[in-house]
């Protein structure tokens, strides 16, 4: 009978530089302990055999090995004895080229099964290692399909997505993660958006002034942290349910079946390797607006099935916001104009009276407003959003990734939209679009400073953190946080865009709101964002899109560090159909 579930373990460990034998001995003791406890998959930290903070190639040279080699042989002996699978992190030397790599190794009962060479380097790897050329493979084993990533790799949604699309049940992420409370939101998002398990093995402790975050954990396909270690050496266990991983459902939706690969061709480009000021104005076509300091806000409320009542609610809240905080852009929820119940019955054309009233409101208040509605175009309806402003109807967008609730009445949109406003370049997504990491990435690569996302997303896409004993330096927070993980906060940070997320609030029907405006940098504290809304109301946040016209922009929303570091030559599978 085929295996359907098994016990897995993550090991948290503090290696010591120059003490390779001691490190290996310590890891072997903990691996053996986990195997005796019945773990069939055991994951250990990045560079756990040697330590991490090497000055240069010369310093690490005495500690590199080939794979297979003496170190992998020692772990393979334990794997063979207990019929288990082990992931270790080590500095590898390629015997043919002499190049060094930061490598994850999957070892089974019969030897080395495969490797992943860290493909997206952190600031330290280029001091001694080459970027990985063996990347994103999925290995069929006696306990299912296993893939590996190393630390910084996980910052880029493409890496985990490639492995999930190739059938990974479990992604083993080994790391030396730092500068935030862990379990980190990025780790959780990669499990959540791919509906697979992520086993995170992170080191802890202080090495050459670097404080590592600990927080090793096992994350379930819905983003729930099943087990975690805060600080110190330790082992955490959880059950891997293969049937659950293979359903590939995000908030009840078959996530891979809903992908639109033909619209993802931008993923194969790398626009931010060039100065964006020069790149986007090439041939005089679509130069990025100069930008300015401004404010963006989101409104959270419960739309009804009465269009006139919704118009009244929108107008009242817009006026209140302009009186209180004077935002330049306001985003209302998905279908806020026409309501969620039988949207087609109230669908309106873009020249209809309700849209005209919204245009008049924006012109009177001298503000840009994004509102979701059911749009009628002839005999066809779309789940759409409109952008209105002082100049009138600026444009509209039609939802590309339809949820189950949309499919009974709406046709999917067929193109992305960007709009150049005085505050900067704005893109639009709607609701379930944001559950697909490809969508926000395309808009970021097209130069967007801000993504406006009206939403009606029900279910859990946030998670709390109880606080950590790790002694992070100020201003990195260590206390409890009721909204530590928010899927849309990650969307903003991983794409270096402001993300204005306006979700429906309707607890009776599972819509918990959690609207907010999130900043473009995940690792700036205090965070550049608004509060997260739990009740009917509105919030705003400062938006800074200045600094394009310097020799090279230093504002992160304008130079987009994480876009620069993408490696599209690894990504062709993302634009192929996997239905």
Cα separation, 174 vs 216, in Å, equals 9
Is 46 marked active-site?
Answer: yes
CA gap 15, 51 in Å, rounded: 5
- In this structure, are residues 416 and 391 in contact, taking their beta carbons and an 8 Å threshold? no
Closest CA to 103 of 148, 140, 167: 148
Q: Which two tokens stand for residue 263?
A: 């619209």
Query: Which is the catalytic residue, given 14, 46, 438, 528?
Result: 46
| Separation CA 252–CA 12 (nearest Å) | 32
Place of tokens 């090439």: 282
417 assigned to active site: no
Cα 117 to Cα 108: distance, rounded to the nearest angstrom: 18
Distance, CA of 82 to CA of 12 (rounded, Å) = 20
Which one of the listed residues 14, 92, 125, 151 is annotated catalytic? 151
- Residues 330, 321: contact at Cβ < 8 Å? yes
Can you tell me whether residue 186 is helix, strand or coil?
A: helix
Is 381 part of the annotated catalytic residue set? no
Pairing outcome for strands 210-213 and 217-219 = unpaired
Q: Note whether 139 and 113 are within 8 A (CB).
A: yes
SS3 content of the chain, % helix, strand, coil (to 5): 30, 30, 40
Which among 100, 97, 99, 70 is positioned nearest to 88, based on CA atoms? 70
Residue 130 DSSP label: P
DSSP string, 485-518: EEHHHHHHHHHTSEEEEEE-EEGGGTEE---EEE
Catalytic residue among 14, 20, 92, 118: 118
Of 164, 160, 206, 212, the closest CA to residue 186 belongs to 160
Please state whether beta strands 204-207 and 197-202 pair in parallel, antiparallel, or not at all (unpaired): unpaired
170-175 sheet: strands from edge to edge: 138-141, 144-150, 170-175, 197-202, 217-219, 225-228
Residue numbers annotated as active site: 46, 118, 151
């Amino acid at each position: 009978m085929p295996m359907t579930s098994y016990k897995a373990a993550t090991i948290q460990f503090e290696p010591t530089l120059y003490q390779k034998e001691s490190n290996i001995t310590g890891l072997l003791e903990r691996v053996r302990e986990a195997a005796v406890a019945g773990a069939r998959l055991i994951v250990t930290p990045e560079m756990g055999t040697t330590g991490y903070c090497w000055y240069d190639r010369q310093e690490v040279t005495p500690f590199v090995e080939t794979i297979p080699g003496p170190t992998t042989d020692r772990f393979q002996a334990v794997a063979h004895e207990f019929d288990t699978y082990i992931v270790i992190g080590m500095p590898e030397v390629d015997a043919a080229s002499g190049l060094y790599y930061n490598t994850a190794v999957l070892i089974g009962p019969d030897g080395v099964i495969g490797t992943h060479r860290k493909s997206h380097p952190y600031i330290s790897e280029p001091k001694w290692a080459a970027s990985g050329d063996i990347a994103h493979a999925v290995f069929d084993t006696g306990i299912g399909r296993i893939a590996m990533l190393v630390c910084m790799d996980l910052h880029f949604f493409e890496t985990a997505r490639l492995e999930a699309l190739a059938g990974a049940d479990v992604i083993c992420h080994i790391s030396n993660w730092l500068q935030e409370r862990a379990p980190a939101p990025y780790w959780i998002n990669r499990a959540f958006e791919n509906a697979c398990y992520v086993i995170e093995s992170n080191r802890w402790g202080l090495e050459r002034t670097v404080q590592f975050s600990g927080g090793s954990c096992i994350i379930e396909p819905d983003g729930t942290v099943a087990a975690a270690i805060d600080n110190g050496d330790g082992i955490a266990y959880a059950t891997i349910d293969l049937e659950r991983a293979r359903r590939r459902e995000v908030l009840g939706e078959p996530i891979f079946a809903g992908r639109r690969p033909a619209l993802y061709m931008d993923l194969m480009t790398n626009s931010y390797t060039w100065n964006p000021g020069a790149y986007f104005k090439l041939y005089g076509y679509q130069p990025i607006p100069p930008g300015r300091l401004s404010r963006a806000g989101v409104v959270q409320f419960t739309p009804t099935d009465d269009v006139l009542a919704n118009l009244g609610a929108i107008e009242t809240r817009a006026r209140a916001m302009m009186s209180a905080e004077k935002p330049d852009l306001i985003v209302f929820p998905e279908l806020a104009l026409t309501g969620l119940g039988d949207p087609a019955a109230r669908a309106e054309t873009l020249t209809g009276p309700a849209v005209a009233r919204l245009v008049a409101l924006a012109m009177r208040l001298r503000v840009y407003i994004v509102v979701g509605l059911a749009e009628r175009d002839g005999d066809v309806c779309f789940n759409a959003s409109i952008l209105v402003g002082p100049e009138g109807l600026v444009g509209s967008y039609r939802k590309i990734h339809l949820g189950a609730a949309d499919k009974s009445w709406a046709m999917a949109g067929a193109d992305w939209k960007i709009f150049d406003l005085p505050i900067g370049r704005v893109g639009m997504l709607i609701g379930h679009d944001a559950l697909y990491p490809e969508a926000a990435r395309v808009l970021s690569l097209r130069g967007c400073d801000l993504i406006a996302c009206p939403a009606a997303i029900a279910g859990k896409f946030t998670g709390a953190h109880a606080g950590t004993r790790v002694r992070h330096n100020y201003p990195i927070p260590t206390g409890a946080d009721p909204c530590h993980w928010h899927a849309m906060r990650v969307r903003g940070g991983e794409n270096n865009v402001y993300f204005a997320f306006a979700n429906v609030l309707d607890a009776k029907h599972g819509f918990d709101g959690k609207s907010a405006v999130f900043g473009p940098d995940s690792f700036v504290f205090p965070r550049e964002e608004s509060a997260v809304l739990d009740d009917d109301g509105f919030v705003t946040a400062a938006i800074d899109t200045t600094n394009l016209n310097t020799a090279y922009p230093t504002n992160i929303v304008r130079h987009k560090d994480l876009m620069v570091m993408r490696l599209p030559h690894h990504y062709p599978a993302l634009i192929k159909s996997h239905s």
